[in-house]
Amino acid sequence: MKTLFLYTTSFLLGFCFSPSLSAQEVPKKRITVLLPVNASKRILFGAEKLTTALKAIGYSVAQTTEVKKTGNAKPLLILSRRSDALAGKAASVFKIDTASKAGKEGFLLSAKNGVILISGTDNSGVLYGCLELADRIKTGGNLPSQLLFTDAPEMVLRGECIGLQKSTYLPGRNVYEYPYTPETFPWFYDKQLWLRVLDSMVENRMNSLYLWNGHPFASLVKLKDYPYAVEVDDATFKKNEEIFSFLTKEADKRGIWVIQMFYNIIVSKPFAEHNGLKTQDRNRHIIPIIADYTRKSIAAFVEKYPNVGLMCALGEAMEGVGQDDIDWFTKTIIPGVKDGLKALGKTEEPPIVLRAHDCDAPSVMHAALPLYKNLYTEAKYNGEALTTYTPHGPWAELHRQLASLGSVQIENVHILANLEPFRYGSPDFIQKCVEAMHNVHHGNGLHLYPQASYWDWPYTADKTSPRLLQIDRDWIWYKAWSRYAWKAGRNVENEKVYWTNLLSKRFGTSSNAAKNILEAYEQQGQIAPKLLRRFGITDGNRQTLTLGMFMTQLINPYRYGLFTLLYNSEGPEGEMLTEYAEKEWRGEKHVGETPVQVINDVKEHGRKAVEAIEKAAASVKKNGEEFNRLRNDMLIYDALANNYAEKAEAALRVLRYKYSADIKDLEKAQPHLEKSLLYFQKLVDLTKNTYLYANSMQTGQRKIPIGGNDGKNKTWEELLPFYQQELRNFKRNLDSLKSPNNAAVAKQKTVLKNADVTLQTKPEGFYSIATGKELFSDTATYIKDFAEELSSLNGLKLSTAKQITNGTTIRFSNKAPVKVLVGYFDSKDTRYLQPPQLETDASANDFGQAEAKLSNALVVSGMPPVNVHTFTFKAGNNTLNLPKGICLVLGFVADAQPFPARDAGLAPGGVKKELDWLFE
């Protein structure tokens, strides 16, 4: 051991007094970094980051390994895994504490008598220990002399995702179908951008990067049996190989798993065309050629990229819950991964993450775990939004069920449709959400979406030149989630100090000014979650909250496909506007969070956010342009809060009229509606020169407040005329109600006419829409009441038994475009065909069928009320394909025939009083 000391002394003397160095060039401070032999790339990367920090405070750094005998020069910095011999030598030679119970990715920092030991549980632990010490050096400006600190992450996987997807569909393709090409994703080939992303991730202690795409395999691997399936040319394929290899290698040395996500069942377009198939068909069952192609694609991918995990979405492009999900996962996906491992001669299983979306994930996992051990589950935390840190109900129960399976449940903060496109960074709200992930959902992993503009990555929606990057603008979003994923239960007061210091440095402000910026973030952070969970239609990205809502959506949300999980799981217990109004009229006790409470809350949050940001403005010395954009966002949120508050006040008075029939209630609604429009005009003024769009998904899937086909209706300026017309309609209809002849107020309904079609599929019979007419061939069910629009149509009489067993398929030809009217029974009973739901099925509007055109349109004996949706078909030979379940096919009408949407209000026992017409 004496020779160990002697060697290092001579090593350092030789280094310090080399004749090639003049006296002026000799650094004042020197340190030796002692590394293990054959140190991993992660340890070397950690050493590199630590070396940079040391040099910044004036140290000259020399590196050596345990094979070389080091001397007695100090300070000495030792990097080692806990299991390495080097850690044991450090304990015996330098009498330094090496005891650590840190778990996976954990580390010990121990400093004593000029020797600092970074001991990690694994390679990632050493890396994180290096980063921790580097941070302390940057903050303190010196090397700590006495230190004993242990740390480890709480969440097993802490990741962010990037979508290789676009705001609109590519020509000739469907949802999620985006091959990897420079034309579609030029940023994908930017190595410097990837290094910035990966460096920001490792700085935030993130260890997984999810790449989302519909079918990535045909851009990354070639198959001997299906050479025609590749979707890119040879030059692009080589570029893809190079950049994917670069990305995975750079990620690995930063302790980051790359996990490639894919949807099922989607195949490449060349493969589909070669075999006469669709690229995706939700109603298509598993067929051998698709199973074989997918299995071989996965095997080739695993063989080529063994350090890349897979994330599998069984929903959306498969028919919901069923045996197909289990079979596909256990007989196609897992065998494909095993085939790839066998070809490599490896046994270490890469992670497979099962997305618990639109599938029976517990059943799939029960079948899969005996076959494959390195499995994880993933489910959305608050749907496709951020609504609460007090989740409950059936959705929370699903998370707990997944967590109990023995694998790790990953919490997915998904899409954030209610936060787009503005900045969001409430550390307190985020910390409480992560605590809820642990304590309520029992999750132990984080899968984080961009804060906004997922479909437009890497850019934000800010109207700037050059465009802002999400990793720059939304730094606080990524830092807050990753900080609490590492450790959730941090002291609240200490956290205020932490964030205040960061904001002070970022904007060059005093501590008091930084506190005000933090306060603005915290106040603003409550507004969008409260608005959506109390007034919204859905947690999904078919609603863009920041574009406002129409009065009909507030007073009659069921007409727009209300997503009930938003209210029974994704917020504190409380009441909707319709429930509150009914209880108020009946004098019943209110329960939980009420609309009136939220109305008052959001106005106060908006006021306080603006007040706080204005107090900070004069103190800003750095990043002034970004501060001004942040300030503008606070003004926007204040206007948004007041717009919703005034409109909700108007809705409560309209809903009261439903029970009182007192015209004064409607008169009281008018000034609130007028004020809400003034606040929306303010939104227009604040956004027209600062934002490109409100929502980054600009396809037909977006429905609330209004359709977004072809990239339309994505700005506040575009929406303003609709809200102005809404107010004019209300004033006109209110004036009509006040006139003596108010019985004639309701508009005359359009009677739909049968279109000319030729049926290739012959039904069991036909029926006219009239009272007493039987609807099915195998039941005596008959029509009791119907909306007058339907009175001239001829429906197709079908067999309920066949519908339950086989679904409904109608083949027909038509010389002009037509709409097929399909009646969905309003029931969750699995016997009935469930209506299209964009929350779980991205193809649910491919034929314009997502929303009900005529709600409560028929009353049928012994069955629930019927809502009518329409499927639009071009001229030619067509097929209406519907999944299993009882439904009505009420006839065909010309696509050009006007068909205004409305709620007919028909219900067993009478007509419900609906007031949508007041605004139409």
pLDDT digits (tens, 9 = 90+) for 474-509: 999 999 999 999 999 999 999 999 999 999 999 999
**Average model confidence (pLDDT) across the chain:** 92
Largest CA distance in the chain: 110
Residue 749 falls inside a structural domain: no
What is the model's pLDDT at position 416? 96
**Residue 215 shares a structural domain with residue 168:** yes
**Domain end call among 491, 515, 544:** 491
What is the model's pLDDT at position 26? 44
In total, how many domains does the chain have? Answer: 4
Using CB atoms within 10 Å of the CB of residue 522, give its burial: 0 to 12 exposed, 13 to 18 middle, 19+ buried. buried
What is the model's pLDDT at position 7? 32
**Residue 132 shares a structural domain with residue 184:** no
Residue 9 falls inside a structural domain: no
Give the span between the Cα atoms of 669 and 733, in whole angstroms.
Answer: 13
What is the model's pLDDT at position 70? 55
Phi, psi for 610 (deg, rounded to 5): -65, -45
Do 16 and 73 meet the contact criterion of CB atoms below 8 Å apart? no
Residue 510 falls inside a structural domain: no
Banded model confidence at residue 585, pLDDT cuts 50, 70, 90? very high
What is the model's pLDDT at position 874? 96
User: Average pLDDT of 246-275?
Assistant: 96
In tens, the pLDDT along 175-190 reads: 999 999 999 999 999 9
**Residue 138 shares a structural domain with residue 173:** no
Give the span between the Cα atoms of 771 and 762, in whole angstroms.
Answer: 24
30: CB partners within 8 A, 6+ apart: 12, 15, 16, 59, 60, 61, 62, 73
**Domain end call among 129, 151, 173:** 151
pLDDT above 90: residue 153: yes
Give percent of the chain with pLDDT exceeding 90.
82
Across 88-102, 245-259, 296-310, 837-851, least confident range: 88-102
What is the model's pLDDT at position 230? 98
In tens, the pLDDT along 65-75 reads: 864 555 566 78
What is the model's pLDDT at position 165? 95
Q: Any alpha helices (H) in 618-691, and if so which ranges?
A: 624-660, 663-687
CA 781 to chain centre: 43
**Residue 766 shares a structural domain with residue 899:** yes
pLDDT above 50: residue 2: no
> Looking at residue 421, which CATH number applies to its domain?
3.20.20.80
What is the model's pLDDT at position 145? 87
Give the span between the Cα atoms of 382 and 396, in whole angstroms.
Answer: 10
In tens, the pLDDT along 731-775 reads: 999 999 888 665 445 566 889 999 999 999 999 999 999 999 999
Angle at 475 between CA 473 and CA 481, to 5 degrees: 135
> Which domain, by its residues, includes 881?
757-918
Angle at 526 between CA 523 and CA 528, to 5 degrees: 125
Give the span between the Cα atoms of 22 and 31, in whole angstroms.
Answer: 19
What is the model's pLDDT at position 99? 67
**Residue 142 shares a structural domain with residue 192:** no
What is the model's pLDDT at position 112? 86
What is the model's pLDDT at position 14? 34
What is the model's pLDDT at position 912? 67
Beta bridge partners of 783: 860
**Residue 421 shares a structural domain with residue 537:** no
Under DSSP, is residue 437 helix (H, G, I), strand (E, B) or coil? helix
What is the model's pLDDT at position 68? 52
The number of residues making up the chain comes to 920
What is the model's pLDDT at position 72? 63
pLDDT above 60: residue 918: yes
Beta bridge partners of 559: none
Give, as one character, the DSSP assignment of residue 834.
P
User: Average pLDDT of 424-434?
Assistant: 98
Residue 184 falls inside a structural domain: yes
HSE on the CB side for 652, CA within 13 Å?
A: 23
**Residue 325 shares a structural domain with residue 406:** yes
What is the model's pLDDT at position 740? 64
**Residue 447 shares a structural domain with residue 549:** no
User: Average pLDDT of 312-334?
Assistant: 86
Do 782 and 861 meet the contact criterion of CB atoms below 8 Å apart? yes
Give the span between the Cα atoms of 79 and 229, in whole angstroms.
Answer: 48
What is the model's pLDDT at position 69? 54
What is the model's pLDDT at position 322? 76
**Domain end call among 116, 151, 186:** 151
What is the model's pLDDT at position 25? 46
pLDDT above 50: residue 59: yes
Give the span between the Cα atoms of 318 and 478, in whole angstroms.
Answer: 32
Query: Which one, of 640, 485, 426, lies nearest residue 155 by Cα?
Result: 485
What is the model's pLDDT at position 22? 38
**Residue 253 shares a structural domain with residue 307:** yes
Residue 383 falls inside a structural domain: yes
User: Average pLDDT of 386-411?
Assistant: 96
> Looking at residue 141, which CATH number applies to its domain?
3.30.379.10
What is the model's pLDDT at position 71? 58
**Residue 60 shares a structural domain with residue 165:** no
Beta bridge partners of 902: 854
Integer CA distances (angstroms), 37 to 68, 79, 80, 803, in order: 9, 11, 10, 68
Give the span between the Cα atoms of 499 and 521, in whole angstroms.
Answer: 11
User: Average pLDDT of 71-99?
Assistant: 79
**Residue 165 shares a structural domain with residue 187:** yes
Residue 344 falls inside a structural domain: yes
Residue 805 falls inside a structural domain: yes
pLDDT above 50: residue 11: no
pLDDT above 60: residue 23: no
Across 32-41, 238-247, 591-600, 723-732, least confident range: 32-41
Residue 504 falls inside a structural domain: no
pLDDT above 90: residue 301: yes
**Residue 711 shares a structural domain with residue 789:** no
Give the span between the Cα atoms of 903 and 917, in whole angstroms.
Answer: 9
